[in-house]
């Protein structure tokens, strides 16, 4: 059995994702596709538009054979941590032969070349990077400048058009899926993984394009969902007809009953969390990826009660992007500490495998994974205490907290009775 892995958010699932799964199987000759998916919070520092079980079901209905959850602390982390954790999860299953990711360039070789530089961090590269950060550039800007300077001074620049300083290199380093693709390649190199990197050229809309078409961006779909939430008397949102060309038919059916959340729905939990930490005089630097200067800015504005987006906008600076601030606030709200991240990285990111669902035809894959993976495999929440050691169980419970908060907010907004992590069963399709 040949297996291809994909690291994704499916926020939400659309035609482009179904296309990637099909092409991944075609390019690798894989019999099955394993999706390592973000749970209820995603990498841009926001709640997922739909809960993880709804999104897992969407993926399973449209080509994925097995869906696993990326722990929320890294699912909501930087591109580097998100990629490193997702890669570690797939690699440690012991059954995945290839890692497939979408990209704007459609070629693995230049991304592997860049990844090699980032992995080695030559002195000339590090110097320009450090200077850029000292001069107030964001990390992505400083890194791009450092790579361009290093490649301009090295003979390697002439080997690939896309690696020559200029528009080609700029596009390679600034396009969202290319950036993640480079991080996947870097993670594979660092791990000396046996998984082969494979990329699928992104079709249709760009990452931030808000136009709806056959291959839209997830942002475009979220825009329609979030701007038109609220059920009609018939239980169908009329604006969903616009999505019929953009998502697989089974997914469209699921959308009709799903209830979207936005970052704004977490404004009150965030404000309460900041107030509680202020009362306890706990330093915000205790939290994952919250440096001292950003912590000071957040602390000074604790009593400026605003929505999630307005709070992020007020904290935004040249050095700290909206997304970086949003992630920092999410880490604080979800009690994701810096020490927790350090401890998990020291144990190779993953201490257990959380299965969200699988297709019946893929049961042999699940069995093979359970035999090959050197990690406990959790298919029922209640079983975790029986198979995890003390430290892993503590991590698992912290992960449950994130989903339980999401479910509480969803229940309050939708007025529905929402199943929790103990009452939601494994998805089998």
The per-residue pLDDT for range 4-21, each reduced to its tens digit, is 999 999 999 999 999 999
355 closest CA partner among 301, 427, 406, 405: 427
Indicate whether 212 and 96 sit together in one domain.
yes
Q: Quote the CA–CA distance of 357 and 38 in Å, as a whole number.
A: 13
188 closest CA partner among 7, 371, 16: 7
Q: Quote the CA–CA distance of 44 and 78 in Å, as a whole number.
A: 8
Indicate whether 35 and 73 sit together in one domain.
yes
Indicate whether 276 and 409 sit together in one domain.
no
What SS3 class is residue 46?
strand
What Å distances lie between residue 335 and 25, 240, 279, 383, 396, CA to CA? 38, 35, 16, 24, 13
Indicate whether 17 and 165 sit together in one domain.
no
Q: What is the pLDDT of residue 140?
A: 81
- State the CATH number of the domain containing residue 9: 3.40.50.620
* pLDDT tens digits, 95-147: 999 999 999 999 999 999 999 999 999 999 999 999 999 998 888 889 889 98
* Confidence check: pLDDT of 57 > 50: yes
Does the residue 240 lie in any domain?
no
Q: What is the pLDDT of residue 20?
A: 97
The count of domains in the chain is 3
Last residue of a domain, one of 341, 372, 399: 341
CA dihedral 87, 88, 92, 95 (to 10 degrees): 0
Indicate whether 218 and 100 sit together in one domain.
yes
Last residue of a domain, one of 320, 341, 362: 341
Angle at 113 between CA 85 and CA 30, to 5 degrees: 55
Q: What is the pLDDT of residue 234?
A: 40
Question: What single DSSP character describes residue 287?
Answer: B
Does the residue 115 lie in any domain?
no
Q: Quote the CA–CA distance of 272 and 214 in Å, as a whole number.
A: 41
Indicate whether 94 and 195 sit together in one domain.
yes
Does the residue 307 lie in any domain?
yes
Indicate whether 7 and 76 sit together in one domain.
yes
* Confidence check: pLDDT of 28 > 70: yes
Q: Quote the CA–CA distance of 41 and 117 in Å, as a whole number.
A: 31
217 closest CA partner among 34, 14, 18, 377: 14
Q: Quote the CA–CA distance of 31 and 3 in Å, as a whole number.
A: 6
Strand partners, 67: 35, 357
Q: What is the pLDDT of residue 158?
A: 43
* For the chain, the helix, strand and coil percentages under 3-state DSSP, each to the nearest 5: 55, 10, 35
State how beta strands 196-201 and 98-103 pair.
parallel
More confident residue, 39 or 244: 39
Strand partners, 107: none
Indicate whether 181 and 139 sit together in one domain.
no
Q: Quote the CA–CA distance of 158 and 151 in Å, as a whole number.
A: 9
More confident residue, 34 or 164: 34
Last residue of a domain, one of 341, 356, 379: 341
Does the residue 110 lie in any domain?
no
Q: Quote the CA–CA distance of 204 and 116 in Å, as a whole number.
A: 29
* Confidence check: pLDDT of 298 > 80: yes
Q: What is the pLDDT of residue 233?
A: 39
Q: Quote the CA–CA distance of 39 and 89 in Å, as a whole number.
A: 14
CA 332 to chain centre: 18
What SS3 class is residue 43?
coil
What SS3 class is residue 8?
strand
Does the residue 113 lie in any domain?
no
Indicate whether 6 and 88 sit together in one domain.
yes
Helices (H), 106-166: 108-120, 123-134, 139-152
* pLDDT tens digits, 227-269: 654 444 344 455 667 788 899 999 999 988 889 999 999 999 9
Indicate whether 96 and 206 sit together in one domain.
yes
Q: Quote the CA–CA distance of 318 and 327 in Å, as a whole number.
A: 16
What SS3 class is residue 82?
helix
Q: What is the pLDDT of residue 148?
A: 86
Q: Quote the CA–CA distance of 36 and 5 in Å, as a whole number.
A: 7
Angle at 199 between CA 169 and CA 248, to 5 degrees: 120
Q: What is the pLDDT of residue 161?
A: 53
Domain span including residue 314:
263-341
What count of other Cβ atoms lies within 10 Å of the Cβ of residue 242? 13
pLDDT band at 226 (very low <50, low <70, confident <90, very high): confident
384 closest CA partner among 418, 355, 341: 355
Q: What is the mean pLDDT of the chain?
A: 91
* Confidence check: pLDDT of 156 > 60: no
* Confidence check: pLDDT of 205 > 60: no
Q: What is the pLDDT of residue 157?
A: 45
What SS3 class is residue 7?
strand
Contacts of 110 (CB under 8 A, 6+ apart): 160, 162, 163, 172
* Confidence check: pLDDT of 27 > 70: yes
Indicate whether 63 and 20 sit together in one domain.
yes
Indicate whether 421 and 331 sit together in one domain.
no
């Amino acid at each position: 059995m040949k297996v291809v892995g994909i690291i994704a958010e499916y926020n939400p699932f659309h035609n482009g994702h179904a296309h990637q799964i099909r092409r991944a199987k075609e390019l690798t000759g894989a019999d099955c596709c394993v999706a390592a998916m973000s749970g209820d919070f995603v990498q841009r520092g926001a709640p997922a538009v739909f809960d993880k079980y709804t999104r897992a079901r969407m993926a399973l209905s449209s080509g994925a054979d097995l869906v696993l959850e990326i722990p929320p602390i890294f699912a909501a982390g930087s591109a580097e941590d998100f990629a490193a954790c997702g890669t570690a999860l797939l690699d440690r299953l012991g059954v995945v032969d290839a890692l497939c990711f979408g990209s704007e360039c459609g070629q693995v070789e230049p991304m592997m070349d860049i990844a090699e530089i980032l992995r080695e961090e030559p002195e000339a590269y590090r110097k320009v990077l450090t200077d850029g950060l000292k001069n107030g550039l964001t990390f992505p800007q400083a890194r791009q400048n450092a790579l361009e300077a290093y490649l301009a001074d090295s003979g390697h620049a002439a080997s690939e058009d896309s690696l020559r300083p200029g528009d080609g290199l700029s596009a390679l380093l600034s396009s969202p899926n290319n950036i993640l693709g480079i991080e996947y390649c870097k993670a594979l190199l660092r791990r000396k993984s046996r998984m082969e990197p494979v990329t699928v050229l992104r079709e249709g809309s760009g990452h931030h394009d808000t136009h709806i078409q056959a291959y839209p961006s997830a942002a475009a779909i979220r825009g329609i969902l979030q701007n038109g939430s609220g059920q009609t008397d018939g239980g169908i949102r009329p604006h969903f007809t616009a999505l019929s060309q953009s998502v697989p038919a089974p997914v469209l059916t699921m959308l009709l009953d799903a209830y979207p959340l936005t970052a704004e729905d977490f404004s009150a939990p965030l404000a309460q969390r900041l107030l509680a930490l202020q009362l306890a005089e706990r330093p915000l630097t205790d939290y994952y990826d919250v440096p001292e200067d950003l912590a000071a800015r957040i602390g000074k504005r604790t009593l400026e009660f605003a929505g999630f987006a307005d709070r992020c906008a007020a904290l935004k600076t040249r050095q700290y992007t909206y997304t970086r601030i949003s992630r920092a606030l999410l880490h604080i709200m979800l009690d994701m500490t810096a020490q927790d991240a350090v401890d998990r990285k020291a144990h190779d990111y993953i201490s257990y495998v959380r299965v969200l669902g699988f297709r019946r035809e893929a049961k042999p894959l699940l069995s093979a994974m359970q035999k090959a993976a050197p990690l406990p495999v959790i298919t029922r929440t209640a079983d975790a205490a029986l198979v995890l050691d003390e430290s892993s169980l503590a991590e698992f419970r912290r992960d449950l907290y994130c989903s339980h908060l999401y479910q509480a907010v969803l229940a309050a907004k939708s007025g529905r009775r929402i199943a929790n992590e103990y009452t939601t069963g494994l998805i089998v399709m």
